[in-house]
Amino acid sequence: MLNYRHLHYFWVVTKEGGFARAAERLDMAVQTISAQVRELEKALGHQLLKPAGRGVALTEAGQAAFARAEEIFQLGQGLPDEVRHAASGQVVRLAVGLSDGISKLAAHALLEPVLGTPNLRLVCHEGEFEQLLGELALHHLDLVLAGQAAPRNPNLRLASERIVESPVDWYGPARLVGKSERDRFPQCLNDLPVLLPTGHSALRQRLDHWFDTQGLRPHIVGEFEDSALLAVFAARGLGVFPVSRLGADDVDLMRGVRALGCSDGVKEEIHAIRSRRGQHHPLVLQVMAAAARTAA
């Protein structure tokens, strides 16, 4: 049975960069901490720390042990809050990572089934795909919504499932979208000011391929990482824009925005990525079930 007190001493020594600073932080004798770390090394059968200047450095075995200790003690730091919330029944927390390449309007539609949960505390983080997967692996997030599946990596222990494959429609402000533009769609995109997601998003890559197959050279006047911000600028008259049909209900809330046409064959994909712990989160399960019903 692993002695977690020994593991904690090792973790602190590594975080502090040496036994002396760890002893000061823990208010213990250096010799005591050193002895406890040696006991951990003896139990694991490998040297974890080696001298480095006036401090210590991790061996390869130590790097593996520290990565797991980091996960364990970060989880432990959040335990009191989780227990308190569970006992009081006051807060239901859902932490979601949104990859900066997906439609935020579609993400809102996916999360809408749980937004009426009593005492919900919804925490949304937007970021790059790899960064969000790291946060998910450390259990800082319950769910990541992204435009691509998680890579196969047994060390991350993540489950990935495509939950959306939605057609992509085009909208624009009333002054730009009339009967003649709708009749000439998609060729009218060569003449109208066009707003697009930035090049790193999976949807942009599909749109660029569609432009090529249609022989289009769109007049691009703006590129946005955030699709919701893109829609706001479009509604203010800057240009026409594509949006997943799943998020079209939110577009309807914007005054003066009209439908222009549909990019036949272009679909936005959204993948739900979960850690093993997140697979059992009741709100995550609710989001997944609602997405499955919509797809059916």
pLDDT tens digits along 250-262: 666 567 788 999 9
Residues 217 and 76 in one domain: no
Please report, for the domain that includes residue 108, its CATH number.
3.40.190.10
Residues 210 and 116 in one domain: no
For the cut 90, the answer to whether the pLDDT of residue 196 exceeds it is yes
- CA–CA distance, 91 with 132 (Å, rounded to integer): 24
Structure confidence at residue 102 (pLDDT): 81
Tens digit of each residue's pLDDT (9 = 90 or more) over 81-96:
767 766 666 678 899 9
Residues 263 and 169 in one domain: yes
Q: What is the mean pLDDT of residues 23-35?
A: 92
Residues 193 and 257 in one domain: yes
pLDDT, greater one: 101 or 275: 275
For the cut 70, the answer to whether the pLDDT of residue 278 exceeds it is no
CA 83 to chain centre: 25
Residue-averaged pLDDT of the chain = 87
Domain of 38, in residue numbers: 4-85
Q: pTM of the prediction?
A: 0.63
Helix 30-44 vs helix 19-26: crossing angle, to nearest 10:
110
Question: In total, how many domains does the chain have?
Answer: 3
Residue 271 confidence class, pLDDT cut points 50, 70, 90 = very high
C-beta contacts of 208-211 below 8 A and 24+ residues apart: 210/263, 210/265, 210/266
Residues 158 and 283 in one domain: yes
Structure confidence at residue 168 (pLDDT): 92
Structure confidence at residue 104 (pLDDT): 80
Range in 38-42, 93-97, 135-139, 226-230 the model is least confident about: 226-230
Q: How many CA atoms lie within 13 A of 155 on its CB side?
A: 6
